[in-house]
Every structure is written in structure tokens, then in C-alpha cells.
Amino acid sequence: MPIKIQSDLPVKEILEKENIFVMDEHRAMHQDIRELEILILNLMPLKEETELQLLRSLSNTPLQVNVTFMTVESHESKNTSMSHLNKFYQTFPELCDRKFDGMIITGAPVEQMEFEEVDYWEELVEIMDWTTSHVTSTIYLCWAAQAGLYHHYGLKKRPLDEKMFGLFWHKVMNRKIPLVRGFDDMFLAPHSRHTEVPIEDIHNCSELTVLAESEEAGLFLAMSDGGRKIFVMGHPEYDRITLDGEYKRDLSRNLPIDIPKNYYREDNPQNRPLLMWRAHANNLYTNWLNYYVYQSTPFDLYGTPFTEE
């Protein structure tokens, strides 16, 4: 699938070296097709790293995707330059009159704070409410999944005794639902978090359908509203070395951290991490784009109103 991005986005060169089909604006102007409009609200501190991970994840179908990056106004980024944000990101007031086929809201390293203590919480609530009338399907990742479950359904998170960190086995539920089409019965996926939404609370919410869960890590994947809202409690977009970087970062800060589970050969951090989740991660994003975005979105985004809750 060609990913349409700005021609001078720094990660473009990396994607091209990985043989990912990247199309800039000039070439896209000569394509007589209706591209999918995907909005990414990037709440992660290392924005370029997350850009690269998500663009990789969206690159595995024949569909053409135009990606727009959004940042929040009510928080000042300390790890990404203002020049990068000003050039490649837009804010909610700049985008609120537009409609999008799909949206991804990333996680954020604020999970140990109460939601209302996060400085951009009110802005995020406004954005989450806006998606119900302006986006065909929205994926909430990790902390954003907890935030979405709390805001939309009142489900509270709770702290874990120790960080859920590494690769965990999950079982597929409700196999006939297209979002998990092609998944194996059991699969590995990364988690990296200090809190969780209790799986029993999620099962008890009649509006939610659980699609994959883990005996050890709890929820991985759930959806509601016919796929208009999709909650991913892990990090399927992570690349091979992301957990390795987090582990070594926490060690260098003398923070309590265990070796990520099921990640290094022989549990030895000197060994190269094993990449054992990429196929299912690609499958998840491909199914989302195909069945819950492309197959569901109106051809004319602005001529066909979305059904609000």
C-alpha cells in the first residue's frame, strides 16, 4: 500500500530503505483514486519513532492512505523539536472541521497519573467526542485505550504490582469477527504499562466485545459500536528494539524493571531481541483498514453524515 506523506518527513528515507511504498504529494496528485484519510494523534514523547512504527504498520494493504499527524495544544513537547511539530503536525482547531476515514490515538507515558491530572485531558475528551461524528473508526492504543474505556464507558484503571513488560501470549475470542480474521489461536504481542483495566470489568460491559486476551496480561483487543471504537491494550506497532530501549533506559535511571518476558534469547539482554509479533500486528492493521475503514467509510466523506451515538 502506498503511504502518502510529506516529501520531507524525516522518516520517509527509512521507510524507503525498508522497501515500503511511500508516495509524496506530487506523485499522489496524479493518482485518480479516492485515498483513505487517516489521522494520527501522536501523544508519545519520541514522536518520530512513533511515526515510523505506525507508518510501517499501515503499509501492508493495496489501499492508498493519506496520513495526517495531530498534536495536542495543551501540552508542550520536550522531546520533539518545535520545528518538526510546526512543519509536520496540526492541532485540533486546525482539523476539527474535517472528516477522516480512520484515526489512531497513541499511548502516552502518563498512565500512573489520574486521567483528570493529565494536562491535556480536557482537550483529549473533546477529541474523543469529536471522533464519534467525524471519524469512521478509531483505534485507541495502550494508555489511550484505558482513557477511551474510562471516558466512553466509565471503566477505571488500576495500578499493577509490577510493570507489565515484554511479550505475552494471547488467545483469540470471537473468531468470526473480521478484525481477528487470519489470527492464530494463540499469538504474542508486546505490553509495556504500569496499569490495567480489569478484564472482568470489560467482560461485564455489554457494549464491549473482547476479541483477544491473555491469562497473564489481561485485555489485548476489544471493540464496540460495530468497530467504530477499537481498543488495543498493548503495543502491536512496536519494532524489534523498542522494549530493549525501554529496558535499558529504566536500568540507566535506576528504576525497578525486570527483563522483558519472552523477548531476549535465553532471557539474556546481550542477545538480539526476537521479533515474534510482526505478522499479527500487520494483520491487525490490515484488517482494520480493510473491514472497518475502507469497507465502512462513505466514498464522499463530506456528503454522507456519520451516525452519531
CA distance 2 to 188: 27
115, 147 in Cβ contact below 8 A?
Answer: yes
CA distance 89 to 69: 5
Active-site residue, selected from the candidate residues 134, 142, 205, 213 = 142
User: How many other β-carbons are positioned within 10 Å of the β-carbon of residue 261?
Assistant: 19
302, 193 in Cβ contact below 8 A?
Answer: no
Cα-flanking dihedrals φ and ψ of residue 55, to 5°? -65, -35
**174, three cell numbers:** 470471537
Active-site residue, selected from the candidate residues 134, 152, 235, 280 = 235
Is 237 annotated in the active site?
yes
Is 142 annotated in the active site?
yes
Residues in contact with 190: Cβ distance below 8 Å, sequence separation at least 6, in sequence order: 166, 167, 234, 235, 236, 238, 242, 243, 277
Active-site residue, selected from the candidate residues 152, 237, 246, 280 = 237
Is 126 annotated in the active site?
no
User: Closest Cα partner for 70 from 42, 98, 45, 105?
Assistant: 42
DSSP annotation of 117:
G
Hey, what amino acid is at 9? L
Residue ranges of alpha helices (H) inside the chain are 12-17, 25-28, 47-57, 82-88, 92-95, 121-134, 143-153, 199-203, 242-252, 278-287
Could you list the active site residues? 142, 235, 237
